[in-house]
Structure 1
Amino acid sequence: MQLHDVWFILIAVLWIGYFFLEGFDFGIGVLTKLLARNTAERRVLINTIGPVWDGNEVWLLTAAGATFAAFPDWYATLFSGFYIPLLVILVCLIVRGVAFEYRAKRTDERWQRNWEHAIFWTSLLPAFLWGVAFANIVHGVAIDRDKNYVGGFFDLLNPYALLGGLVTLALFTFHGAVFASLKTVGEIRERARAAALRLGLVTAVLALGFLVWTQLHQGNGRSLAAVVVAVAALAAALAANQMGREGWAFTFSGLTVVAAVAMLFLSLFPDVMPSTLDGSWSLTVQNAASSPYTLKLMTIVAAVFTPLVLLYQGWTYWVFRKRIGVQHIPAAQSTDH
């Protein structure tokens, strides 16, 4: 196996980790409007991800940085061709971080409600747009012989990509509902379990259609195995949720995310961005990669620092593993609005 193949796998792992962690993170943000009934419950949901949301975004920074260093042509074509949706995602992530920090700075009802609106929309839009972006990457876009994207913005909003966006939005919200039931107590926990069932069924319908479409378009034996795992994991998550086994439900909902994203990368390889104009113009792990020396140096650095990052993030989740409920919210923040 060549180093460019290794780095394709590592970048896939980084994106899988990002969607696994930021998936329930986005889902909680969406659920602040769909699940919470008052200020205290919205605060409970926000607090479930309060200690970890910024750490989850490290995976995105690492994935983007690794792509830039290991596959500069892929990075250049991706970020220039997908400039508008990626800019929207970036703005949403910035506003979302500000909203988490600023919401509690004042007790004014209007102030807090506006930041809660911001948390909802800046969670919903990236959850949808990431699906649109990755669906287009897998399906292929208009890339010319000079490795430039020559399509337009609305070319990215094709039926397959829009379905991909709906799948990630539904899957992340389902993942978030399962996480909410795992991290809360009381009435909100029960409603989170009920919401997870409804969201899981919606996700199952959308995801099955998308995965089958992907498999028929450019799937292979490896990607088919990932499809089977994703479907089985989603069914297991729904069953565990119904039995009140929140830990297992979260494990399987996370496995669903992992298998679904892995399926996209398995379908993509050895391409990194297929060209719909001419197959010979597609970006591949060979023609888009950095020099062997660069990849070797990156491998050494990754081998040293990756375990440290994983240990630190695992420790963070362990420290903040306790459940919370409205009884843990100060009285001044628990009035209905």
Structure 2
Amino acid sequence: MELHTLWFVLIAVLWIGYFFLEGFDFGIGILTRLLARDRAEKRVLINTIGPVWDGNEVWLLTAGGATFAAFPEWYATLFSGFYVPLLAILICLIIRGVAFEYRSKRPEERWQRNWDAAIFWTSLVPAFLWGVAFGNIVRGVKIDSDFEYVGGLGDLLNPYALLGGLVTLTLFTFHGAVFAALKTVGDIRGRARRLAQRVGLVTAVLALAFLLWTQADKGDGTSLVALVAAAAALVAALVANRAGREGWAFTLSGVTIVAAVAMLFLTLFPNVMPSTLNADWSLTVTNASSSPYTLKIMTWLSVIALPVVLLYQGWTYWVFRKRIGTQHLADSAH
């Protein structure tokens, strides 16, 4: 396998890992308004991701850094053309991190209510915009002969991309709901499972429509296998959730995300950013990549660093693996 192809695969793996982990992270943030009935239950939901949410974002930083180093043309065109939605995501992630840290600093109800609203909206907006962004990457955008984006913001708000945004929004909410059922005890656990069932049915309809559209437009035999795997995993997740098997439901909802994102990258390859103006102007793994020497150095560094990242993140999840409920909260209003 050539190095530029290897790095395309590695970047795909990084995005898959990010959406798997940050997916339930965003979902929990959305559920603080949809599921929690009082301040105590909001604290429980936030505590389920409290030890891990910032570690989940390491995958995003690594994916962005790897794209910058391995495919600088892709990075430049993507971040200049998608400047507004990516800036909105960045602002949301900054405010979201501040909200998690500051929410408990003061006991006043208004203070916590405002930060709770910030957590909800800064989870919902990125969950939607990531689907819009990847929908446009797969569909293709207006790239000229100089590999520069020449479209406008309105071009990014097309039906296919907006449907992709709804899919990621509902899928992440479903993923978060089954994670909440897996990590909590008591009444909130049962309500999380029931909400997951309702959201999962909506997700199934939207996801099937989006993936079939993708397959019909750009798919092949390999992407069809990924589509079938994603659909089967989502149905199985709903069955497991209905049966009260939270561990299986969470695992299978994660498999749904893995297979669906893998399908998008399979339909994209060998392009990294197709041009809708002229296929010859598309950015590919060949014309957008760095030099072979740069890719070789990056490969050796990743061989050293990646196992360390996986070990410490896996250890974090193991340490904080137990369920929690309102009875585990401290008596302090903080």
Q: TM-score, normalised on structure 2?
A: 0.99
SS in 2 for 1:331: coil
> What are the residue-to-residue correspondences of 1:216-255 with 2, within 5 Å?
216-255=216-255
> What are the residue-to-residue correspondences of 1:130-169 with 2, within 5 Å?
130-169=130-169
- 2:106 aligned with 1:106, yes or no? yes
SS in 2 for 1:132: helix
Q: Deviations over 1:159-203 (max 9, x none)?
A: 000000000000000000000000000000000000010010000
| Identity %, equivalent residues | 77
Letter in 1 for 2:246: E
Q: Is the 8 A contact 1:39 1:333 kept in 2?
A: no
Partner of 1:46: 46
> What are the residue-to-residue correspondences of 1:145-294 with 2, within 5 Å?
145-294=145-294
SS in 1 for 2:301: helix
RMSD over equivalenced CA pairs, Å: 0.7
Letter in 1 for 2:224: L
Q: 1:269: Cα distance to partner?
A: 0.2
> What are the residue-to-residue correspondences of 1:22-37 with 2, within 5 Å?
22-37=22-37
User: Matched residue pairs, number?
Assistant: 334
Letter in 2 for 1:99: A
Please, which runs of 5 or more residues in structure 1 have no aligned partner?
Answer: none
Q: 1:332: Cα distance to partner?
A: 4.2
Letter in 2 for 1:279: A
Alpha-carbon distance between aligned partners in 1 of 2:65 and 2:221, rounded to the nearest angstrom: 30
SS in 1 for 2:272: strand
SS in 2 for 1:289: coil
Alpha-carbon distance between aligned partners in 2 of 1:28 and 1:258, rounded to the nearest angstrom: 19
Alpha-carbon distance between aligned partners in 2 of 1:37 and 1:331, rounded to the nearest angstrom: 18
Partner of 1:313: 313
Partner of 1:76: 76
Letter in 1 for 2:250: F
> What are the residue-to-residue correspondences of 1:53-68 with 2, within 5 Å?
53-68=53-68
Partner of 1:12: 12
Partner of 2:21: 21
Alpha-carbon distance between aligned partners in 1 of 2:225 and 2:238, rounded to the nearest angstrom: 20
Letter in 2 for 1:292: P
Letter in 2 for 1:286: T
Alpha-carbon distance between aligned partners in 1 of 2:69 and 2:56, rounded to the nearest angstrom: 21
Q: Which runs of 4+ in 1 moved over 6 A?
A: none
Alpha-carbon distance between aligned partners in 1 of 2:79 and 2:319, rounded to the nearest angstrom: 37
Alpha-carbon distance between aligned partners in 2 of 1:154 and 1:183, rounded to the nearest angstrom: 41
Q: 1:328: Cα distance to partner?
A: 1.1
> What are the residue-to-residue correspondences of 1:288-307 with 2, within 5 Å?
288-307=288-307
Alpha-carbon distance between aligned partners in 2 of 1:272 and 1:330, rounded to the nearest angstrom: 49
Letter in 2 for 1:176: G
Q: 1:84: Cα distance to partner?
A: 0.1
Q: Is the 8 A contact 1:183 1:322 kept in 2?
A: yes
Q: 1:152: Cα distance to partner?
A: 0.1
Q: 1:55: Cα distance to partner?
A: 0.1
